[in-house]
Amino acid sequence: MSSPTLQVCRECGGGAPVDAHFCPQCSKILTLGRHGDYFAFLGLPRKLGIDAEDLEQRFRGLSRKFHPDYFYNAAPAERRASLERSSYLNDAYRTLKQPITRIEYLLQVEGLAPKNPQEASRQVPPALLEEVFALNEELDEIRDLRSGGAPAEAWKSRLERARRPIEAKRVEHEAQLEELSARWDALVESGAGERDRRAALEALRDRFLERNYITNLLAGIERELNAAL
């Protein structure tokens, strides 16, 4: 990694750590330029296990420090820096707050964002595709029944039956993501080598790719159930 470790304060010209928010020399707010990532911005290691309360406190603390109200009478560059840091902070907090967007973000900053679609497609187990396809067909049939004016009793139980396996899959999938997240954190803590880290991230990505199928299906089922109300 060749990311810079220092940034230059535009106010006093002094050097500051790349993830500092205020200049250690002149204590002015630093322009948001090149810096690390959401984790580093919040002073966190690049781990997936994040304590919600700790994150909240960090967010609130920085939020107060960057608040544009405090820079009302400051120079334009500082006012802009306060706005930029506030906005970046909001993005960082929103992304890291949810475990799912946190994983997605980690994969992105670690360079494991989706490759080309053809490759991604091959990483999804065929058995899952089969299952998803069959459930989609079942949903289609139920939709036809409903729009054909069939009484609710006729298709509601079918809908519930269709939901059970996919709901179970969602629970199982979440547990797998948690387990893989914990594995990643352990590797970060032990300072494991690039190969082990890469393998853990790839496993995480493969699991992560299955997520859209499961959530889309569940959303489809929910829509049908709500339409019944």
Piece of the chain touching other proteins by CB under 8 A; list 8-16, 54-62, 64-72, 114-122: 114-122
Closest distance of CB 133 from other proteins, Å: 5
Indicate whether 199 belongs to the interface with other proteins (CB under 8 A): no
The token duo for 3 is: 């990311």
Indicate whether 222 belongs to the interface with other proteins (CB under 8 A): no
Closest distance of CB 172 from other proteins, Å: 17
Closest distance of CB 173 from other proteins, Å: 13
Q: Which of 51, 56, 91, 137 binds other proteins (CB under 8 A)?
A: 137
Indicate whether 210 belongs to the interface with other proteins (CB under 8 A): yes
What HEC string does the chain produce?
Answer: CCCCCEEECCCCCCEEECCCCECCCCCCECCCCCCCCHHHHCCCCCCCCCCHHHHHHHHHHHHHHHCHHHHCCCCHHHHHHHHHHHHHHHHHHHHHHCHHHHHHHHHHHCCCCCCCHHHHHHCCCHHHHHHHHHHHHHHHHHHHHHHCCCCHHHHHHHHHHHHHHHHHHHHHHHHHHHHHHHHHHHHHHCCCCHHHHHHHHHHHHHHHHCHHHHHHHHHHHHHHHHHCC
Give the span between the Cα atoms of 23 and 43, in whole angstroms: 16
111-119 long-range contacts, CB within 8 A, separation 24+: 112/201, 112/202, 112/204, 112/205, 114/209
Q: Which of 13, 212, 227, 228 binds other proteins (CB under 8 A)?
A: 212
Indicate whether 25 belongs to the interface with other proteins (CB under 8 A): no
Indicate whether 121 belongs to the interface with other proteins (CB under 8 A): yes
Q: Which of 76, 111, 126, 151 binds other proteins (CB under 8 A)?
A: 126
Site track 59-98 with other proteins (rule: CB under 8 A), x = hit: ----------------------------------------
Q: Which of 116, 147, 190, 226 binds other proteins (CB under 8 A)?
A: 116
Piece of the chain touching other proteins by CB under 8 A; list 20-28, 142-150, 163-171, 210-218: 210-218
* Torsion sign, CA atoms 71, 75, 77, 78: negative
Piece of the chain touching other proteins by CB under 8 A; list 68-76, 157-165, 168-176, 211-219: 211-219
Q: Which of 31, 63, 86, 136 binds other proteins (CB under 8 A)?
A: 136
> Can you give the binding site for other proteins, defined by CB under 8 A?
114, 116-118, 120-121, 123-124, 126, 129-130, 132-133, 136-137, 209-210, 212-213, 215-217
